[in-house]
Copies of this chain bind each other. A is one copy, B any other.
Protein backbone atom coordinates (compact mmCIF):
# COMPACT_ATOMS: atom_id res chain seq x y z
CA UNK A 1 0.00 0.00 0.00
CA UNK A 2 1.20 3.48 -0.90
CA UNK A 3 -0.17 6.44 1.04
CA UNK A 4 0.50 9.99 -0.15
CA UNK A 5 1.23 12.58 2.54
CA UNK A 6 0.81 16.28 1.77
CA UNK A 7 4.11 17.81 2.88
CA UNK A 8 2.60 21.31 2.82
CA UNK A 9 -0.43 20.67 5.02
CA UNK A 10 0.15 21.74 8.62
CA UNK A 11 0.43 25.33 9.77
CA UNK A 12 4.16 24.66 10.33
CA UNK A 13 4.73 22.74 7.10
CA UNK A 14 6.80 20.90 6.09
CA UNK A 15 8.42 19.84 9.36
CA UNK A 16 5.55 17.97 11.13
CA UNK A 17 4.26 16.59 7.82
CA UNK A 18 7.60 15.13 6.78
CA UNK A 19 8.42 13.81 10.23
CA UNK A 20 4.96 12.20 10.39
CA UNK A 21 5.56 10.57 7.01
CA UNK A 22 8.87 9.16 8.27
CA UNK A 23 7.17 7.79 11.39
CA UNK A 24 4.43 6.24 9.27
CA UNK A 25 6.90 4.61 6.88
CA UNK A 26 8.81 3.18 9.83
CA UNK A 27 5.81 2.07 11.92
CA UNK A 28 3.65 0.63 9.15
CA UNK A 29 6.41 -0.73 6.91
CA UNK A 30 4.89 0.42 3.63
CA UNK A 31 6.05 3.06 1.12
CA UNK A 32 5.04 6.67 1.65
CA UNK A 33 4.89 9.35 -1.02
CA UNK A 34 5.56 12.93 0.04
CA UNK A 35 4.08 15.55 -2.23
CA UNK A 36 5.10 19.22 -2.20
CA UNK A 37 8.12 21.41 -2.74
CA UNK A 38 10.87 18.93 -3.56
CA UNK A 39 13.77 20.98 -2.20
CA UNK A 40 11.97 21.72 1.05
CA UNK A 41 11.01 18.07 1.49
CA UNK A 42 14.58 16.87 0.84
CA UNK A 43 15.93 19.39 3.33
CA UNK A 44 13.46 18.19 5.93
CA UNK A 45 14.01 14.50 5.20
CA UNK A 46 17.77 14.93 5.67
CA UNK A 47 17.09 15.64 9.36
CA UNK A 48 15.71 12.13 9.87
CA UNK A 49 17.10 8.63 9.69
CA UNK A 50 15.30 7.09 6.72
CA UNK A 51 17.53 4.05 6.29
CA UNK A 52 15.51 1.14 4.98
CA UNK A 53 12.37 3.22 4.45
CA UNK A 54 10.74 3.82 1.07
CA UNK A 55 9.81 7.48 0.93
CA UNK A 56 9.25 8.87 -2.56
CA UNK A 57 8.95 12.53 -3.36
CA UNK A 58 6.62 13.97 -5.97
CA UNK A 59 7.11 17.66 -6.66
CA UNK A 60 4.23 20.14 -6.51
CA UNK A 61 4.99 23.81 -7.15
CA UNK A 62 2.06 25.45 -5.36
CA UNK A 63 0.95 25.51 -1.73
CA UNK A 64 -2.59 25.93 -0.46
CA UNK A 65 -2.84 27.96 2.73
CA UNK A 66 -5.59 28.28 5.33
CA UNK A 67 -6.41 31.67 3.79
CA UNK A 68 -7.17 30.22 0.34
CA UNK A 69 -10.87 30.28 -0.51
CA UNK A 70 -12.22 26.79 -1.24
CA UNK A 71 -14.43 28.14 -4.01
CA UNK A 72 -11.56 29.41 -6.15
CA UNK A 73 -8.56 27.37 -5.07
CA UNK A 74 -9.22 24.52 -7.48
CA UNK A 75 -8.55 26.67 -10.50
CA UNK A 76 -6.29 29.26 -8.89
CA UNK A 77 -3.58 26.79 -7.84
CA UNK A 78 -3.79 23.81 -10.22
CA UNK A 79 -0.30 22.63 -9.26
CA UNK A 80 -0.87 22.52 -5.52
CA UNK A 81 0.28 19.59 -3.43
CA UNK A 82 -3.40 18.70 -2.94
CA UNK A 83 -4.05 18.53 -6.69
CA UNK A 84 -0.90 16.54 -7.36
CA UNK A 85 -1.42 14.20 -4.41
CA UNK A 86 -5.06 13.44 -5.15
CA UNK A 87 -4.26 12.85 -8.81
CA UNK A 88 -1.77 10.17 -7.78
CA UNK A 89 -4.67 8.39 -6.10
CA UNK A 90 -6.99 9.02 -9.02
CA UNK A 91 -4.48 7.56 -11.48
CA UNK A 92 -3.88 4.45 -9.40
CA UNK A 93 -0.31 5.39 -8.46
CA UNK A 94 -1.25 5.55 -4.79
CA UNK A 95 -4.02 4.27 -2.52
CA UNK A 96 -4.87 7.22 -0.30
CA UNK A 97 -4.12 10.90 0.31
CA UNK A 98 -3.52 12.45 3.75
CA UNK A 99 -3.35 16.20 4.41
CA UNK A 100 -3.44 18.44 7.47
CA UNK A 101 -4.26 21.42 5.26
CA UNK A 102 -7.30 23.58 4.44
CA UNK A 103 -10.30 21.23 4.71
CA UNK A 104 -12.63 23.26 2.52
CA UNK A 105 -9.99 23.52 -0.17
CA UNK A 106 -9.30 19.77 -0.01
CA UNK A 107 -13.00 19.00 -0.41
CA UNK A 108 -13.30 21.41 -3.32
CA UNK A 109 -10.23 20.03 -5.11
CA UNK A 110 -11.31 16.44 -4.49
CA UNK A 111 -14.85 17.06 -5.67
CA UNK A 112 -14.35 19.42 -8.60
CA UNK A 113 -10.81 18.96 -9.86
CA UNK A 114 -9.46 15.51 -9.12
CA UNK A 115 -11.11 12.44 -7.59
CA UNK A 116 -14.72 13.62 -7.97
CA UNK A 117 -17.68 12.01 -6.26
CA UNK A 118 -18.73 8.39 -6.03
CA UNK A 119 -21.52 7.86 -8.59
CA UNK A 120 -24.93 8.53 -7.05
CA UNK A 121 -23.62 10.54 -4.10
CA UNK A 122 -25.65 13.75 -3.90
CA UNK A 123 -23.26 15.67 -1.67
CA UNK A 124 -19.94 14.63 -0.16
CA UNK A 125 -19.60 15.30 3.55
CA UNK A 126 -16.89 16.43 5.88
CA UNK A 127 -16.45 14.13 8.81
CA UNK A 128 -14.86 14.22 12.18
CA UNK A 129 -13.98 11.39 14.51
CA UNK A 130 -14.85 12.44 18.03
CA UNK A 131 -11.83 12.05 20.31
CA UNK A 132 -14.10 11.05 23.20
CA UNK A 133 -16.22 8.07 24.31
CA UNK A 134 -16.19 5.32 21.66
CA UNK A 135 -14.73 7.69 19.00
CA UNK A 136 -17.88 7.87 16.85
CA UNK A 137 -17.74 9.23 13.32
CA UNK A 138 -19.54 12.56 12.90
CA UNK A 139 -20.96 13.59 9.55
CA UNK A 140 -21.50 16.21 8.13
CA UNK A 141 -19.36 18.61 10.16
CA UNK A 142 -19.31 21.51 7.77
CA UNK A 143 -19.54 20.85 4.04
CA UNK A 144 -23.29 21.36 3.62
CA UNK A 145 -24.89 24.07 5.73
CA UNK A 146 -28.32 23.57 4.18
CA UNK A 147 -29.19 19.92 3.68
CA UNK A 148 -32.01 17.91 2.19
CA UNK A 149 -33.24 14.77 3.93
CA UNK A 150 -31.88 12.54 1.18
CA UNK A 151 -28.38 13.90 1.72
CA UNK A 152 -28.56 13.07 5.40
CA UNK A 153 -29.75 9.58 4.49
CA UNK A 154 -26.66 9.19 2.32
CA UNK A 155 -24.44 10.48 5.13
CA UNK A 156 -25.95 7.72 7.26
CA UNK A 157 -25.06 5.06 4.69
CA UNK A 158 -21.55 6.35 4.12
CA UNK A 159 -20.84 6.87 7.80
CA UNK A 160 -22.12 3.42 8.65
CA UNK A 161 -19.92 1.83 6.00
CA UNK A 162 -16.90 3.81 7.07
CA UNK A 163 -17.34 2.81 10.70
CA UNK A 164 -17.80 -0.82 9.72
CA UNK A 165 -14.76 -0.83 7.45
CA UNK A 166 -12.34 1.03 9.70
CA UNK A 167 -13.39 0.78 13.31
CA UNK A 168 -14.13 -2.93 13.39
CA UNK A 169 -17.76 -2.36 14.37
CA UNK A 170 -19.77 -5.10 12.75
CA UNK A 171 -23.15 -3.40 12.72
CA UNK A 172 -22.60 0.28 13.54
CA UNK A 173 -25.33 2.12 15.40
CA UNK A 174 -26.38 5.23 13.49
CA UNK A 175 -28.11 8.14 15.25
CA UNK A 176 -29.51 11.48 14.14
CA UNK A 177 -28.43 14.33 16.40
CA UNK A 178 -31.56 16.01 17.70
CA UNK A 179 -32.99 18.12 20.51
CA UNK A 180 -34.72 15.12 22.03
CA UNK A 181 -34.68 11.36 21.67
CA UNK A 182 -38.40 10.84 21.25
CA UNK A 183 -39.73 10.20 17.76
CA UNK A 184 -41.28 13.39 16.47
CA UNK A 185 -38.69 15.58 18.19
CA UNK A 186 -36.36 17.60 16.02
CA UNK A 187 -37.00 20.05 13.25
CA UNK A 188 -38.59 19.34 9.87
CA UNK A 189 -35.27 18.17 8.42
CA UNK A 190 -34.69 15.69 11.25
CA UNK A 191 -38.18 14.23 11.11
CA UNK A 192 -38.09 13.76 7.35
CA UNK A 193 -34.53 12.39 7.42
CA UNK A 194 -35.49 9.89 10.12
CA UNK A 195 -38.33 8.66 7.93
CA UNK A 196 -35.86 8.03 5.09
CA UNK A 197 -33.09 6.50 7.18
CA UNK A 198 -35.53 4.03 8.74
CA UNK A 199 -35.95 2.50 5.29
CA UNK A 200 -32.23 1.88 4.81
CA UNK A 201 -30.39 -1.39 5.40
CA UNK A 202 -28.46 -0.10 8.42
CA UNK A 203 -28.83 -0.08 12.21
CA UNK A 204 -30.66 3.18 12.82
CA UNK A 205 -31.21 3.89 16.52
CA UNK A 206 -33.20 7.07 15.93
CA UNK A 207 -32.67 10.48 17.45
CA UNK A 208 -29.80 10.98 19.86
CA UNK A 209 -28.94 13.91 22.10
CA UNK A 210 -25.43 15.25 22.71
CA UNK A 211 -25.22 13.38 26.02
CA UNK A 212 -25.94 10.08 24.27
CA UNK A 213 -23.13 10.72 21.80
CA UNK A 214 -20.72 11.42 24.65
CA UNK A 215 -21.81 8.26 26.44
CA UNK A 216 -20.92 6.16 23.42
CA UNK A 217 -24.49 5.27 22.45
CA UNK A 218 -23.80 5.44 18.71
CA UNK A 219 -20.99 4.77 16.25
CA UNK A 220 -22.15 7.27 13.64
CA UNK A 221 -23.76 10.66 14.27
CA UNK A 222 -25.64 12.13 11.32
CA UNK A 223 -26.16 15.91 11.21
CA UNK A 224 -26.46 18.67 8.65
CA UNK A 225 -23.19 20.52 8.17
CA UNK A 226 -24.31 23.61 10.06
CA UNK A 227 -25.41 21.73 13.17
CA UNK A 228 -22.44 19.37 12.94
CA UNK A 229 -20.02 22.24 12.79
CA UNK A 230 -21.66 23.94 15.78
CA UNK A 231 -21.60 20.60 17.64
CA UNK A 232 -17.87 19.97 17.26
CA UNK A 233 -16.95 23.60 17.84
CA UNK A 234 -19.11 23.78 20.97
CA UNK A 235 -17.53 20.64 22.39
CA UNK A 236 -14.07 22.01 21.68
CA UNK A 237 -14.85 25.45 23.10
CA UNK A 238 -16.63 24.05 26.17
CA UNK A 239 -13.93 21.58 27.17
CA UNK A 240 -11.26 24.16 26.49
CA UNK A 241 -13.03 26.80 28.65
CA UNK A 242 -13.40 24.29 31.47
CA UNK A 243 -9.75 23.24 31.20
CA UNK A 244 -8.66 26.89 31.32
CA UNK A 245 -10.81 27.56 34.39
CA UNK A 246 -9.38 24.53 36.18
CA UNK A 247 -5.83 25.53 35.29
CA UNK A 248 -6.35 29.10 36.52
CA UNK A 249 -7.85 27.99 39.83
CA UNK A 250 -5.18 25.33 40.39
CA UNK A 251 -2.50 27.99 39.99
CA UNK A 252 -4.24 30.35 42.42
CA UNK A 253 -2.76 28.94 45.63
CA UNK A 254 0.37 27.11 46.74
CA UNK A 255 -1.61 24.18 48.13
CA UNK A 256 -3.59 23.64 44.95
CA UNK A 257 -0.39 24.04 42.90
CA UNK A 258 1.10 21.18 44.89
CA UNK A 259 -2.10 19.20 44.39
CA UNK A 260 -1.91 19.83 40.65
CA UNK A 261 1.70 18.65 40.57
CA UNK A 262 0.76 15.39 42.30
CA UNK A 263 -2.19 14.93 39.95
CA UNK A 264 -0.19 15.67 36.80
CA UNK A 265 -0.09 12.04 35.52
CA UNK A 266 -3.87 11.83 35.94
CA UNK A 267 -4.38 15.04 33.96
CA UNK A 268 -2.00 13.73 31.31
CA UNK A 269 -4.08 10.54 30.96
CA UNK A 270 -7.25 12.62 30.54
CA UNK A 271 -5.58 14.78 27.91
CA UNK A 272 -4.47 11.69 26.01
CA UNK A 273 -8.00 10.23 26.15
CA UNK A 274 -9.48 13.28 24.39
CA UNK A 275 -6.51 14.10 22.16
CA UNK A 276 -7.59 14.61 18.52
CA UNK A 277 -4.00 13.92 17.47
CA UNK A 278 -4.49 10.30 18.54
CA UNK A 279 -7.12 10.07 15.78
CA UNK A 280 -5.04 11.91 13.20
CA UNK A 281 -7.73 12.77 10.70
CA UNK A 282 -11.10 11.90 9.24
CA UNK A 283 -12.32 11.10 5.73
CA UNK A 284 -14.06 13.15 3.07
CA UNK A 285 -17.07 10.89 2.59
CA UNK A 286 -18.53 10.47 -0.88
CA UNK A 287 -15.29 11.28 -2.69
CA UNK A 288 -14.14 8.59 -5.10
CA UNK A 289 -10.91 7.83 -3.26
CA UNK A 290 -9.59 7.75 0.28
CA UNK A 291 -8.80 11.29 1.45
CA UNK A 292 -8.04 11.90 5.13
CA UNK A 293 -7.91 15.44 6.45
CA UNK A 294 -6.51 16.44 9.85
CA UNK A 295 -6.04 19.61 11.82
CA UNK A 296 -3.68 22.37 10.70
CA UNK A 297 -2.02 22.39 14.11
CA UNK A 298 -1.22 18.67 13.83
CA UNK A 299 1.98 17.25 15.26
CA UNK A 300 4.14 14.63 13.52
CA UNK A 301 2.34 11.99 15.57
CA UNK A 302 -1.01 13.26 14.30
CA UNK A 303 0.24 13.05 10.70
CA UNK A 304 1.42 9.49 11.36
CA UNK A 305 -2.00 8.64 12.83
CA UNK A 306 -3.69 10.22 9.81
CA UNK A 307 -1.77 7.70 7.68
CA UNK A 308 -2.98 4.91 9.99
CA UNK A 309 -6.57 6.12 9.44
CA UNK A 310 -6.02 6.13 5.66
CA UNK A 311 -4.57 2.61 5.79
CA UNK A 312 -7.60 1.34 7.71
CA UNK A 313 -9.92 2.87 5.11
CA UNK A 314 -7.98 1.27 2.23
CA UNK A 315 -7.73 -2.10 3.98
CA UNK A 316 -11.45 -1.97 4.78
CA UNK A 317 -12.22 -1.30 1.09
CA UNK A 318 -14.30 1.69 2.12
CA UNK A 319 -14.62 3.25 -1.32
CA UNK A 320 -15.77 0.04 -2.99
CA UNK A 321 -18.22 -0.62 -0.18
CA UNK A 322 -19.71 2.86 -0.29
CA UNK A 323 -19.92 2.65 -4.07
CA UNK A 324 -21.95 -0.55 -3.82
CA UNK A 325 -24.03 0.76 -0.92
CA UNK A 326 -25.00 3.93 -2.74
CA UNK A 327 -25.78 2.01 -5.94
CA UNK A 328 -28.06 -0.35 -4.02
CA UNK A 329 -29.71 2.46 -2.04
CA UNK A 330 -33.46 2.52 -2.52
CA UNK A 331 -34.65 5.58 -4.37
CA UNK A 332 -35.69 7.94 -1.62
CA UNK A 333 -38.12 10.43 -2.96
CA UNK A 334 -36.99 13.78 -1.57
CA UNK A 335 -37.93 16.94 -3.53
Residue positions of A touching B, CB distance < 8 A? 132-133, 142, 145-146, 177-180, 186-188, 190, 209-211, 213-215, 224-227, 229-231, 233-243, 245-246, 249-250, 252-253, 255-256, 258-267, 269-270, 273-274
Assembled-state Cα–Cα distance A213/B180 (Å): 23
Option from B187, B229, B237, B274 in Cβ contact (under 8 Å) with A211: B237
Option from B187, B242, B252, B259 in Cβ contact (under 8 Å) with A260: B259
Q: Are A270 and B249 in contact (CB under 8 A)?
A: yes
Closest to A185 in B: B145
Contact flag A256-B249 (CB < 8 Å), given A213-B237, A226-B179: no
Q: Are B186 and A210 in contact (CB under 8 A)?
A: no
Q: Are B256 and A237 in contact (CB under 8 A)?
A: no
Q: Are B239 and A211 in contact (CB under 8 A)?
A: no
Q: Are B262 and A233 in contact (CB under 8 A)?
A: no
Q: Are B210 and A230 in contact (CB under 8 A)?
A: yes
A267: chain B residues at CB < 8 Å are 246, 249
Instruction: Count copies of this chain in the complex.
Output: 2
Assembled-state Cα–Cα distance A178/B225 (Å): 11
Assembled-state Cα–Cα distance A209/B236 (Å): 11
A274: chain B residues at CB < 8 Å are 242, 245
A227: chain B residues at CB < 8 Å are 226-227, 230
Q: Are B237 and A239 in contact (CB under 8 A)?
A: no
Q: Are B179 and A233 in contact (CB under 8 A)?
A: yes
Assembled-state Cα–Cα distance A223/B249 (Å): 32
Q: Are B229 and A231 in contact (CB under 8 A)?
A: no
Assembled-state Cα–Cα distance A209/B229 (Å): 10
Assembled-state Cα–Cα distance A258/B235 (Å): 30
Starting from the known contacts A226-B227, A258-B259, 20 additional A-B residue pairs (CB-CB under 8 Å) come to A145-B187, A146-B187, A179-B226, A179-B230, A180-B229, A187-B226, A190-B226, A209-B233, A209-B237, A210-B233, A214-B237, A214-B238, A234-B234, A245-B273, A246-B246, A249-B267, A255-B262, A256-B263, A259-B262, A260-B266
